[in-house]
A and B are shown apart, each in its own frame.
Chain A
């Protein structure tokens, strides 16, 4: 707003909080060191390939498959997490029951647990001879060593992101809003679907974006459960490692660059939707 109101663009906006220059300087330096330099190094390396070379590497069938699997499974896992994360947050916010604190603490476990441990544990469970896998096998459902297994692993690592972003917003929901819906004749189902859930949309999208981003980049847990069959259950991060081990640096950088680009586009879209909806609902009654 301030930019629009001033006739001339000024680098420093007058503000009651001092230290804008210093704070922005520190921020930019830090961001440059931690994020921009490594990423631009990546782009610089891949730009050395030349366009046709680059496209050939990217459009290689195995690469395309790996990227599809990575983004596809991450997307499905984020959708699943969005649904169950909201349900879990709902239970944690709305009900009182013995063991609630324990469950609340357990939600954070995927943050802390080494992802390889999670991957091995999940593989043991879902393998055809595992506890869950042996139950699913007679039904003809195979989870471990298929893309479904990747989704399971990504659901595991992404769950806390949705729960922890939605939970505080849910706690803030005014009881009066629900009562208002009830006085207007809305039943419980209508109140939840038309009043409560839409209000959680911005937070839900944030959680979705975080879980999705985490899923795209996840490596440790997936490689154990995926089976890593090329063209079928091989994720892009693994393919990058394989190319590196083959000393095929151009291919590795090309895949990485495409991942970077796609992730950036998708996060940008999600963030745009989010800030749009947040602008609408902010400081509302």
Chain B
């Protein structure tokens, strides 16, 4: 089912946790809410579930206004980070709970409930464990029971709050792939919250990046990674470098040197340059480039990471090179130029603060090729 969040505002006391958030979730979509802690992602999820009520704004399930409906009436499936299984019930009873508590007019017969619960346990690959108690299962198994339990009520939308947060890395990876499979097979509209960008980018059809109670960007993993629309997204997703530069007559200058990048049609003034460590090219001889001394060099899997010192006034910059390329360069001094980059104009004279909602960063930004 399609879910539309319209101009939602939520305050806890006088602290706004969400400020005028709107989001359209398409039917059958697997969507990730990604952000640092305190960004409001869990609050948004709980508002959709009805576990919190909005201070202002509306939530639609399909064409129906769900904002005034109680949790019970919304018919959603919710999976908690710490599973929240009923520990005095067997796995089977946990999964069938949602059907058993229905009023008798809507409750399927007992045999049907049992059959459906067993089917779901098969779907989550826990057949044969239906008589166990949650205490007798591993973390990964418990989370799968929680998912089966949430799916048993045939929810309008499946909501997962950091579903893999409490699991170790190995199980996490496995469950991630498995959740994608389940989603593709069942087609439930699914929203999950995570602070792990790798998880969000790998799993989701679309990613919603949130910060400080507002949505920064919504897009496919490719869009989010390749075309970040704000300094925050640039900084939060993946690795990035950020340099304070000045624009003069369509050229970008680092202090008193042009760095060989052009930004035509941009007014003169201060700006911030963002680029990713792997989006660079090395150049011999420097007539318009960035150059710095290598202060550290690390081998990370298939690439070599070099840390460069561009001068006292600037934060150190990290670049990634193929190892063979890195060893052939002069080790003390490296000259390079970003191949893909983006400029963000500073808001007023607050130099390093990333500009947020009010400043339409994308309008002012120019993207290099």
Contact = CB atoms under 8 A, between A and B. Distances in A.
Interface of A: 174, 176-177, 179-187, 190, 194-195, 198-199, 201, 277, 280-285
A281 B133 contact: yes
A282 to B, nearest CB: 6
A184 B83 contact: no
B135 A174 contact: no
Interface in B138-163: 142, 146, 149-150, 152-153
Given A179-B51, A183-B71, A283 B98 contact: no
B77 interface: yes
8 contacts: A176-B84, A177-B85, A180-B78, A180-B80, A180-B85, A182-B72, A199-B86, A201-B88
A185 B84 contact: no
B101 interface: yes
B85 A285 contact: yes
Nearest to A284: B87
Contacts of A198: 88-89
Contacts, number: 87
A182 B71 contact: yes
B78 A183 contact: yes
A285 B88 contact: no
B49 interface: yes
Contacts of B180: none
B340 interface: no
A173 to B, nearest CB: 11
A166 to B, nearest CB: 15
B75 to A, nearest CB: 7
B102 interface: yes
Contacts of A182: 51, 71-72
Given A187-B72, A283-B135, A284-B133, A181 B97 contact: yes
Contacts of A282: 135
A184 B152 CA distance: 9
A285 B97 contact: no
Residue of A177, A185, A190, A284 contacting most chain B CB atoms (<10 Å): A185
B135 A280 contact: yes
A190 B82 contact: no
B133 A177 contact: no
Nearest to B137: A285
Contact of B80 (A179, A185, A201): A179
Contact of B98 (A184, A187, A277, A281): A184
B97 A284 contact: no
B98 A285 contact: no
Contact of B82 (A174, A183, A186): A174
B49 to A, nearest CB: 6
Contact of A185 (B51, B75, B86): B75
Contact of A284 (B49, B71, B75, B134): B134
B330 to A, nearest CB: 57
Given A174-B84, A277-B88, A285-B87, 20 more contacts: A176-B80, A180-B78, A180-B85, A181-B97, A182-B51, A183-B51, A183-B71, A183-B76, A183-B77, A183-B150, A184-B98, A185-B102, A186-B98, A190-B101, A199-B86, A201-B88, A285-B82, A285-B83, A285-B84, A285-B134
Contacts of B89: 198
Interface residues of B, number: 30
Nearest to B75: A185
A68 to B, nearest CB: 34
Contacts of A195: 86
Which 7 pairs between the two chains have the least Cβ-Cβ distance?
A284-B87, A184-B98, A284-B135, A176-B84, A183-B78, A180-B84, A285-B83
Contacts of B88: 198-199, 201, 277, 280-281
B82 A176 contact: yes
Contacts of B86: 177, 180-181, 195, 199
Contacts of B51: 179, 182-183
A284 B80 CA distance: 15
A184 B135 contact: no
Contacts of B72: 182-183, 185-187
A198 B97 CA distance: 14
Nearest to B89: A198
A179 B83 CA distance: 11
Contacts of B76: 183
B134 to A, nearest CB: 5
A147 B346 CA distance: 85
B78 A179 contact: yes
Residue of A179, A184, A283, A284 contacting most chain B CB atoms (<10 Å): A184
Contacts of B133: 280-281, 284
Contacts of A187: 72, 101
Residue of A177, A182, A198, A284 contacting most chain B CB atoms (<10 Å): A284
A185 B101 contact: yes
Contacts of A181: 86, 97, 101
B224 to A, nearest CB: 29
Interface in B44-89: 49, 51, 71-72, 75-78, 80, 82-89
Nearest to B74: A183
Nearest to A199: B88
B163 to A, nearest CB: 13
B78 A199 contact: no
A281 B89 CA distance: 9
Interface in B88-141: 88-89, 97-98, 101-102, 133-135
A268 B59 CA distance: 56
A201 B98 CA distance: 22
A184 B84 contact: no
Interface string B285-311: 000000000000000000000000000
